[in-house]
Amino acid sequence: MPDIAIRAEKVGKKYLLRHQQSQTRRYVALRDVLADKARRLFRPRRDGETNPPPSTEEFWALKDVDFEVRQGEVLGVIGRNGAGKSTLLKLLSRITEPTTGRIEMAGRVASLLEVGTGFHPELTGRENIFLNGAILGMSRLEIKARFDEIVAFAEVEKFLDTPVKRYSSGMYVRLAFAVAAHLQPEVLIVDEVLAVGDTEFQKKCIGRMQTVAQNEGRTVLFVSHNLQTIRQLCERVLLLQHGRVAFVGEPHAGITGYLNQGGTGFSNAIDLHTYPRQMSPEGGRLISITFLDEQGQPAIRLPATSSLQVEVRFRAERPLKRLDIPMAVTHAEGMRVFSETYSDQFSKADVNPGDYMLRFTLPLRFLKLESYFLTVALIEDGRACDQVDGLPLPEIFDEQADPHLESHRWGVVRIPVEWQPLESSAPAVTIQPAP
Q: Contact residues for another protein (CB under 8 A)?
A: 15, 27-31, 33, 90-109, 111, 113-114, 117-118, 120, 122-123, 127, 130-131, 134-137, 139-140, 163, 186
**Is residue 102 within 8 Å of residue 249, measured between CB atoms?**
no
Orientation of helix 169-181 relative to helix 125-135, angle to 10°: 40
CB of 127 to another protein, least distance (A): 7
Residue 372 sits at φ, ψ, to 5 deg, of -130, 160
- In the three-class reduction of DSSP (H, G, I as helix; E, B as strand; rest coil), residue 264 is classed as coil
CB of 139 to another protein, least distance (A): 6
CB of 219 to another protein, least distance (A): 11
**Could you tell me how far CA 278 lies from the centroid of its own chain?**
14
Which is nearer to another protein, 105 or 362 (by Cβ)? Answer: 105
**Is residue 323 within 8 Å of residue 348, measured between CB atoms?**
yes
Orientation of helix 169-181 relative to helix 140-154, angle to 10°: 140
CB of 198 to another protein, least distance (A): 24
Which is nearer to another protein, 3 or 148 (by Cβ)? Answer: 3
Which is nearer to another protein, 119 or 291 (by Cβ)? Answer: 119
Which is nearer to another protein, 16 or 429 (by Cβ)? Answer: 16
> Shortest CA distance to 396 belongs to which of 357, 432, 368?
368
Which is nearer to another protein, 122 or 402 (by Cβ)? Answer: 122
Orientation of helix 125-135 relative to helix 140-154, angle to 10°: 130
Which is nearer to another protein, 90 or 225 (by Cβ)? Answer: 90
Please enumerate in sequence order all residues whose Cβ is within 8 A of that of 283, keeping only pairs 6 or more positions apart, or say none. Answer: 316, 317, 318, 320, 380, 385
Q: Identify the H or E element spanning 380.
A: strand 372-380
CB of 102 to another protein, least distance (A): 5
CB of 9 to another protein, least distance (A): 10
**Is residue 342 within 8 Å of residue 326, measured between CB atoms?**
yes
Which is nearer to another protein, 204 or 218 (by Cβ)? Answer: 218
**Is residue 196 within 8 Å of residue 173, measured between CB atoms?**
yes
- Ranges of H-type helices in 380-421: 403-407
CB of 285 to another protein, least distance (A): 29
CB of 73 to another protein, least distance (A): 16
Rounded distance, CA 343 to CA 323, Å? Answer: 9
Please work out, in degrees rounded to the nearest 5, the angle formed at the alpha carbon of residue 89 by the alpha carbons of 84 and 92.
125
Which is nearer to another protein, 33 or 152 (by Cβ)? Answer: 33
Which is nearer to another protein, 90 or 236 (by Cβ)? Answer: 90
241 CB-side CA count, 13 A: 16
CB of 26 to another protein, least distance (A): 9
CA distances from 348 to 115, 318, 340 (A): 43, 16, 14
- In the three-class reduction of DSSP (H, G, I as helix; E, B as strand; rest coil), residue 171 is classed as helix
